[in-house]
Amino acid sequence: MLAPKDLPIVFIHNGNSDYLPYSLIQVRETNPDNPIYLLGDKSNACFGNIIKHRLVKDYFDKATTFAPHYEHHSSNGHDYELFCIQRWFVLLEFLERNNFDQCLYLDSDILYFGSACKEQLATATHGMTSITKSPHTNYVNSRAALTDFCDYITDSYATPQGKTRLAQYLKEHTDIHGPVGGISDMTFFLQYRKMHTDRILDLSQVFDSAAGPFTYDITIDTPNGYQTETSGLKAVTFDERNQPHILNLNSKEQVRYVTLHFQGHSKAHMGQYVRNKPANYDALLSGYNRIRTWQRVVGKVKRIVGLK
């Protein structure tokens, strides 16, 4: 089992998205001694030159067992929403099979600027973390905590009391938001945290430290009391250590952001915010772009000739 100083950092992502290199390169440069894993597919195996690439399908037994219980209650696509929930079963299986008790899970649209092992210390009081209800930055501080969470998800679909609970969650969501959205893994993080406030730490709060206040980004286009640019994105400034800071309009303090989260259309801006770059950064990006372009050409040809 790895010691906390060797905290694994894990991404789960299918496809070779154009923004994926930014997230992987940024966290690789800021955490050079941590093992970093991408659980993906053959299309993103090209990143094996900077991180440890594994096929997500090789850790899918628990996810497959869960799938028959799933009931779709979302305006998003069935397969998309199911996979968003299944990824927590995938992560649990990955931890078990590698004998890891802890990890930092990151969504692939996150730029991570901290030292994961040091930042984790502020979260050690809880088994897992989320940012409000979104788990896009999740310090899994105990595999047992993730196990219990996955059991709670399964119970919500597979037992009478769980189904009653799920129906209540859906009603609460619909009463507030209408038919848009619905039940997702964010629903479970939100409700589980309400039930067990000591188990999931909300990283959206401002934490105090000797080096100054810090927090984690909800999304870069969500002001949440912070200064924004005319574009609607938060007004980020970088210090001499390439750490992002944003002015809190209430406290008038510059708050360090451990992460920046580029959800939806803001993904197009990720490359502008990468600050920790290796010497061969341009060559890496050029190589990844050539691979992605070739994959798209091959995919288009296969569709034209009717191949899968």
Kindly report, residue by residue over 81-137, the tens digit of the pLDDT. 999 999 999 999 999 999 999 999 999 999 999 999 999 999 999 999 999 999 999
pLDDT in tens, 32-44: 999 999 999 999 9
Rounded mean pLDDT of 49-61?
Answer: 98
Residue 199 CA to its chain's centroid (Å): 18
Instruction: For 20-34, give the DSSP string.
Output: HHHHHHHHHHH-TTS
User: Which pLDDT does position 43 carry in this prediction?
Assistant: 97
User: Which pLDDT does position 216 carry in this prediction?
Assistant: 98
pLDDT in tens, 65-82: 999 999 999 999 999 999
Assess if residue 42 is contained within a domain: yes
pLDDT confidence band for 308 (50 / 70 / 90): low
User: Which pLDDT does position 6 carry in this prediction?
Assistant: 87
pLDDT at 4 over 80: no
Q: For the chain, percent helix, then strand, then coil, each to nearest 5? A: 45, 20, 35
Assess if residue 249 is contained within a domain: no
Which ranges of the chain does DSSP label H, i.e. alpha helix?
Answer: 20-30, 61-66, 78-97, 116-120, 143-158, 160-177, 185-195, 270-273, 281-305
User: Which pLDDT does position 2 carry in this prediction?
Assistant: 57
Assess if residue 57 is contained within a domain: yes
User: Which pLDDT does position 306 carry in this prediction?
Assistant: 78
Assess if residue 299 is contained within a domain: no
User: Which pLDDT does position 142 carry in this prediction?
Assistant: 97
Assess if residue 108 is contained within a domain: yes
Rounded mean pLDDT of 188-200?
Answer: 95
pLDDT at 220 over 70: yes
Percentage above 90 pLDDT, the chain = 94
Give the CATH number, domain containing residue 171.
3.90.550
Q: Mean pLDDT over all residues of the chain?
A: 96
Assess if residue 295 is contained within a domain: no
Rounded mean pLDDT of 168-180?
Answer: 92
Rounded mean pLDDT of 272-289?
Answer: 97
Q: How distant, in Å, are the alpha carbons of 43, 80, 102 from that of 299?
A: 11, 21, 38
Assess if residue 129 is contained within a domain: yes
Reference 260, options 275, 241, 273, 272; nearest CA is 273
pLDDT confidence band for 238 (50 / 70 / 90): very high
Assess if residue 195 is contained within a domain: yes
Residues spanned by the domain of 123: 4-204
pLDDT at 164 over 90: yes
pLDDT at 241 over 60: yes
User: Which pLDDT does position 74 carry in this prediction?
Assistant: 95
User: Which pLDDT does position 302 carry in this prediction?
Assistant: 87
Tally of structural domains, the chain: 1
Cβ atoms within 10 A of the Cβ of 82, count?
A: 19
pLDDT at 3 over 60: no
